Amino acid sequence: MLNVSQAVEIAARAVEAARRAGADAADAGVTADQSTGVGVRLGHVEDIDRSEGESLSLRAFVGRRVASVSSSRMGAEDLDRLAERVVAMARAAPEDPWAGLAPEQRLLSGNAPDLDLHDGRHVEPDALRDMALAIEDAARAVAGVTNSEGAGASAREAVSALATSHGFAAGYRTTNYSASAAVIAGTGERMQNGHASHSARYLQQLDHAGEIGQRAAMRAVERLDPVKVPSGPMTIVFDPRVSASLVNHFAAAISGPAVARGTSFLKDRLGKRVFGNAVAIHDDPHRPRGLRSRPFDGEGLPMSPVALIEHGVLQTWLLDSATARQLALEPTGHGARGGGVSTSNLYLAAGATPRETLLGEVTRGLYVTELIGQGVNGVTGDYSRGAAGFLIENGECIRPVAGVTIAGNLIDMFAALTPASDLTFRYGVNAPTVRVDGMTVAGD
């Protein structure tokens, strides 16, 4: 696999080839990765996957015309042919008045920050197999579990590099380890499944195999014999497994491209209150060992921790260079490679209310642990998704619920959202338990 220096050199050579072919400006990204994964089921290895790949994406600008190509071939002659092709494509493309590289004066200068994203460990397939078997054994040992959909463990190492024609060239490397299990409880029509997983930059950060297996098993067993609930208004409490989805919907609504097109339900809310006064949402690309930490964005701009929501008020859009020009603003360091925007370690900050208190204040509601479908309208904010979880009565989760739909509008949901104090950082996007009053449940 390529190392960082090799990847940066190839990206720089691709940019030089594009300039020789007639591009006014260009940038190139190189990625290389290798991964190993082992899957087991019912105590036997089902599959062992090993993959290794390298890819190059090259973007060329001719005036305000732009085109992109990608390839897995990176020899000198290959780069020349690729450059000639992308420049020819750019000359034939329609003009884009907002196209161009990131502002040169804004590029990351000096050394990229070390975010401790690579643990330098090599994990053999046998160790991954043993981990997967231990996970499944722990899950199958839980009373009520009747079958297994399998368990798995994987290890991945990757290198990312970017070079531009106006002076940027840098890269970094990462590791990622994952483990998961999916099992079934009950028999016949009573069967319910349960899943658990965990990912981390360092192998030693992964949850113990037994914890992952037992968590998957208990989630299956707890779902046995679900009921439906009558339709009507109801308080909804979102488990941290699903509350982060609300943060994702918010991020999509403040993305520069959506705002510039006028297709976001928050397009007129910059500087205005969107959430309650106690709510804050942050994006932190510099968290050491964070699952989405990175030293620079897809355009070579430095990334810094930023408050997107402070005291409930929307502070900024997520802007790449193109949409920043269109909106007459400055890019925010959220440019994605290939266009658009992306966040890093996005999170809804913990509130002041303990989870037990948040639940205890609910006379009758629904504790949601699973969401189904994608019924969210980014233009209007209308929200309707299938859900499963537990019925709450007098502050206690009393029995499982399935086959219901929860509905509302994200504008109203955000305004009514109350976060608990139980935030933990386990995913790329994180949120604590949250309560949203005044939603509608469609059940029986």
pLDDT at position 10, please?
A: 98
pLDDT at position 394, please?
A: 95
Indicate the DSSP class of residue 227.
B
Low-confidence ranges of the chain (pLDDT < 70): none
For residue 382, the one-letter residue type is D
User: Domain check: are 157 and 245 in the same one?
Assistant: no
User: Domain check: are 279 and 247 in the same one?
Assistant: yes
User: Domain check: are 202 and 244 in the same one?
Assistant: no
pLDDT at position 351, please?
A: 97
User: Among the three residues 172, 192, 222, which one is the final residue of a domain in this structure?
Assistant: 222
Q: What angle do CA 23, 25, 30 make, to 5 degrees?
A: 100
List 194's β-bridge partners, or say none.
183
SS3 for 257? helix
User: Among the three residues 166, 188, 222, which one is the final residue of a domain in this structure?
Assistant: 222
Rounded to whole angstroms, how far apart are CA atoms 365 and 361?
10
User: Domain check: are 292 and 258 in the same one?
Assistant: yes
Token pair listed for 390: 């537990």
pLDDT at position 444, please?
A: 79
pTM for this model (two decimals): 0.95
Rounded to whole angstroms, how far apart are CA atoms 403 and 324?
43
User: Domain check: are 215 and 231 in the same one?
Assistant: no
pLDDT at position 399, please?
A: 95
Per-residue exposure over 75-97, b if at least 16 CB sit within 10 Å of its own CB, e if not: eeeebbebbbbbbebbeebeeee
Q: Provide the greatest CA pair distance for the chain.
A: 72
User: Domain check: are 298 and 327 in the same one?
Assistant: yes
Give phi and psi for 274, each to the nearest 5.
-115, -40
Is residue 241 within a helix (H) or strand (E), and if so which, with residue range? Answer: helix 240-253
- Is 372:403 a contact under the CB 8 Å cutoff? no
Rounded to whole angstroms, how far apart are CA atoms 7 and 291?
21
Indicate the DSSP class of residue 112.
P
SS3 for 395? coil
User: Domain check: are 281 and 425 in the same one?
Assistant: yes
pLDDT at position 150, please?
A: 97
- Is 267:326 a contact under the CB 8 Å cutoff? no
User: Among the three residues 222, 238, 258, which one is the final residue of a domain in this structure?
Assistant: 222
Q: What CATH number corresponds to the domain at position 21?
A: 3.30.2290.10
User: Domain check: are 215 and 261 in the same one?
Assistant: no
Number of folded domains that form the chain: 2
User: Domain check: are 215 and 260 in the same one?
Assistant: no
pLDDT at position 277, please?
A: 96
User: Domain check: are 162 and 250 in the same one?
Assistant: no
What Cα–Cα distance (Å) separates residue 53 from each residue in 21, 74, 158, 208? Answer: 27, 12, 10, 30
Give phi and psi for 15, each to the nearest 5.
-65, -45
User: Domain check: are 210 and 262 in the same one?
Assistant: no
Rounded to whole angstroms, how far apart are CA atoms 412 and 275?
9
Rounded to whole angstroms, how far apart are CA atoms 56 and 191?
46
User: Domain check: are 105 and 54 in the same one?
Assistant: yes
Question: Of 368, 369, 307, 25, nearest to 163 (Cα)?
Answer: 25
Residue 101 domain boundaries: 4-222
Is residue 16 within a helix (H) or strand (E), and if so which, with residue range? Answer: helix 4-20
Is residue 363 classed exposed, middle or buried when 0-12, 13-18 and 19+ CB atoms within 10 A define those classes?
A: exposed
